[in-house]
């Protein structure tokens, strides 16, 4: 393409053809995404792989679903390839048998509640699956090609903040592993201590995958994936997208972590579309719903935006006296409409904050909130186009006297602490962490409270709800499990006077 987008769009606007606003917006989004995909696709990394399972499956799946080019456009099953196609090939079926992975991906723990938990799995072909926790068992689920051989099962009748072990029953075979242990969520008002890990910048890098094993040992009650959870960068080929999830979910270290840590995720640019891109208003773009379906088939969230009527990846949940809001700043982001969230998600966030009863409220974003963000806010809440919407819920915090708000974000490949003073309320602290496994690093900022970019790391929020004045301590934990920074904040410091 030799013509710039600006030139082409001027021609569209000045033509005699009558085009609707939505048609032009859709054309704009499609052109931008197609143009960016030419230059910024990130092919899968395989160098340094040592896991025998991955050494067999990875090259096979990459060639079959992604292809031999760097842009992921030549997988032999076309744009919509997946597990059903792979299973038609005897060589792939032989690999399943060789490594005994009929339980192909998972189990992934999620949607923790005081008396229940959900478990996600993917099987290599149709199967009957059930989860058993002590004397309690889920209903049996049958996997099929309709949902890419995935199933989510709920186990009820559990006790709050209690440790359990569990088993997966696959076609009558009982599978138990050391990693199959977890803790339920505490009840509201329960005076306990627990950690919530979070991160972004998690491209599959074989030599860095051990980060997940060390994270599992910390051990957090939950992990929040703030987008860029896998690096796909292929917009309109679901086969290539599925391949990135298959390989991450085959990773031994990742499986160890998700089996025992409640896992929650939203997407950002690299796992929704392309670098710095957004979905725009509405659902007219033909890639949006299919990409969303791939996302929801590969996670275990409490809900996915507003469901099929208003799809997205945003969701909220509570862990005892901690309310967590996971926002999706990509799917409906539209700069010309000056929105990061879109009207429905914004209303959900405002109403959720007003109704929140927890002592602490965590608002999570794939991109930064603070005005000191990179690129003059081009791709964050600091942009002039996004500040009014951001300040709307910042002002709500003051107007409604909502205490205990903490901001966390990802995107930039470093770890930061930012402080935003508010004239009518307490300061808002933002904790950034976005280099769990990535190789690429972004510069540190002197105007932050603290900024760090050495090696790989994740963020961890340690909640101590036992004292009269509860405390949240932010920790930056490096890939080895060493804590390199601690920053405590008491609830009284995050409260209106």
What is the pLDDT tens value at each position of the chain, 497 positions in all? 333 333 333 333 333 334 444 444 444 444 444 444 344 568 899 999 999 999 999 999 999 999 998 889 999 999 999 999 999 999 999 999 999 999 999 999 999 999 999 999 999 999 999 999 999 999 999 999 999 999 999 999 999 999 999 999 999 999 999 999 999 999 999 999 999 999 999 999 999 999 999 999 999 999 999 999 999 999 999 999 999 999 999 999 999 999 999 999 999 999 999 999 999 999 999 999 999 999 999 999 999 999 999 999 999 999 999 999 999 999 999 999 999 999 999 999 999 999 999 999 999 999 999 998 777 788 999 999 999 999 999 999 999 999 999 999 999 999 999 999 998 899 999 999 999 999 999 999 999 999 999 999 999 999 999 999 999 999 999 999 999 999 999 999 999 99
pTM score of the predicted model: 0.92
- Site of tokens 């995909």: 37
The total of other beta-carbon atoms located within 10 Å of residue 70's CB is 12
Question: What is the spatial distance between Cα 445 and Cα 372, in angstroms, rounded to a whole number?
Answer: 8
Would you give the end-to-end CA distance of the chain in angstroms?
Answer: 58
Is residue 97 helix, strand or coil? helix
- The two tokens of residue 428 are 């808002």
Residues contacting residue 93 through CB under 8 Å, at least 6 positions apart:
87
Question: What is the spatial distance between Cα 143 and Cα 182, in angstroms, rounded to a whole number?
Answer: 24
User: How many Cα atoms within 13 Å fall on the side-chain side of residue 28?
Assistant: 22
> Which H/E stretch holds residue 319?
strand 315-319
Question: What is the spatial distance between Cα 400 and Cα 381, in angstroms, rounded to a whole number?
Answer: 22
For 284, list phi and psi in degrees, rounded to 5.
-70, -35
Among residues 337, 486, 405, 377, the alpha carbon closest in space to that of 21 is found at: 337
Is residue 269 helix, strand or coil? helix
DSSP state of 402: -
For 345, list phi and psi in degrees, rounded to 5.
-65, -35
Cis amide linkage into residue 404, ω under 30° from 0: no
For 456, list phi and psi in degrees, rounded to 5.
-120, 155
Please give the pLDDT value at position 40.
Answer: 58
DSSP state of 311: B
Please give the pLDDT value at position 61.
Answer: 98
Please give the pLDDT value at position 284.
Answer: 92
Question: What is the spatial distance between Cα 359 and Cα 492, in angstroms, rounded to a whole number?
Answer: 10
Cis amide linkage into residue 232, ω under 30° from 0: no
Phi-psi category of 157—alpha, beta or left, where left has phi over 0 and alpha has psi -120 to 50? left
Which letter, b or e, does each residue of 303-335 get, where b requires 16 or more Cβ atoms within 10 Å of its Cβ?
Answer: ebbeeeebbbbbbbbbbbbbbbbbbbbbbbbbe
Pairing of strands 222-226, 193-199: parallel
Residues contacting residue 103 through CB under 8 Å, at least 6 positions apart:
121, 123, 124, 168, 170, 175
Question: What is the spatial distance between Cα 193 and Cα 324, in angstroms, rounded to a whole number?
Answer: 16
Please give the pLDDT value at position 9.
Answer: 36
**Which residue(s) pair with 168 in the sheet?**
131, 175
Compute CA 74 distance to the chain's CA centroid, rounded to the nearest angstrom: 27
* CA dihedral (81, 84, 88, 94) positive or negative: positive
Is residue 80 helix, strand or coil? coil
Please give the pLDDT value at position 95.
Answer: 98
Question: What is the spatial distance between Cα 108 and Cα 417, in angstroms, rounded to a whole number?
Answer: 30
Among residues 110, 116, 117, 92, the alpha carbon closest in space to that of 250 is found at: 92
């Amino acid at each position: 393409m030799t013509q710039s987008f600006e030139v082409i769009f001027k021609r569209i606007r000045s033509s005699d053809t009558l085009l609707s606003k939505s048609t032009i917006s859709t054309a704009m989004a499609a052109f931008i995404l197609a143009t960016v995909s030419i230059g910024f696709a990130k092919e899968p990394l395989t160098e340094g792989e040592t896991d025998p399972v991955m050494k067999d499956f990875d090259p096979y799946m990459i060639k079959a679903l992604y292809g031999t080019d760097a842009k992921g456009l030549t997988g032999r099953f076309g744009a919509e390839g997946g597990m059903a196609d792979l299973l038609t090939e005897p060589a792939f079926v032989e690999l399943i048998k060789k490594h005994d992975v009929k339980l192909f991906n998972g189990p992934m723990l999620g949607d923790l509640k005081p008396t229940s938990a959900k478990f996600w799995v993917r099987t290599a072909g149709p199967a009957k699956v059930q989860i058993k926790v002590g004397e309690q068992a889920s209903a049996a689920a049958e996997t099929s090609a309709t949902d890419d051989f995935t199933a989510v099962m709920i186990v009820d009748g559990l006790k709050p903040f209690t440790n359990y072990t569990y088993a997966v029953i696959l076609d009558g075979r009982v599978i138990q592993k050391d990693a199959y242990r977890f803790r339920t969520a505490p009840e509201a008002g329960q005076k306990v201590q627990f950690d919530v890990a979070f991160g972004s910048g998690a491209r599959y890098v074989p030599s860095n995958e051990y980060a997940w094993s060390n994270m599992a040992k910390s051990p957090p009650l939950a992990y929040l994936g703030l987008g860029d959870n896998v690096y796909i960068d292929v917009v309109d080929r679901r086969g290539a997208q599925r391949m990135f999830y298959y390989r991450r979910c085959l990773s031994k270290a990742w499986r160890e972590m998700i089996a025992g840590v409640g896992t929650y995720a939203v997407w950002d640019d690299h796992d929704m579309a392309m670098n710095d891109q957004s979905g725009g208003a509405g659902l007219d773009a033909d890639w949006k719903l299919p990409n969303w379906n791939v996302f929801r088939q590969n996670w275990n969230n409490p809900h996915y935006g507003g469901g099929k009527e208003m799809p997205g990846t945003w969701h909220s949940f509570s862990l005892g006296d901690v309310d967590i809001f996971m926002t999706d700043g990509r799917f409906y982001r539209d700069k010309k409409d000056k929105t990061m969230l879109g009207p429905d998600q914004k209303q959900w966030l405002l109403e959720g904050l007003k109704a929140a009863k927890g002592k602490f409220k965590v608002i999570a974003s794939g991109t930064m909130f603070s005005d000191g963000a990179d690129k003059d806010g081009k791709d964050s809440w600091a942009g002039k186009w996004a500040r009014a919407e951001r300040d709307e819920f910042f002002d709500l915090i003051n107007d409604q006297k909502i205490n205990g708000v903490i901001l966390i974000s990802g995107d930039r490949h470093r770890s930061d602490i930012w402080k935003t003073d508010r004239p009518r309320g307490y300061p808002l602290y933002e904790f950034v962490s976005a280099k769990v496994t990535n190789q690429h690093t972004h510069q540190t900022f002197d105007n932050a409270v603290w900024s760090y970019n050495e090696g790989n790391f994740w963020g961890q929020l340690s909640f101590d709800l036992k004292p009269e004045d509860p405390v949240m301590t932010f920790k930056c934990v490096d890939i080895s499990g060493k804590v390199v920074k601690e920053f405590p904040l008491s609830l009284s410091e995050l409260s209106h006077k």
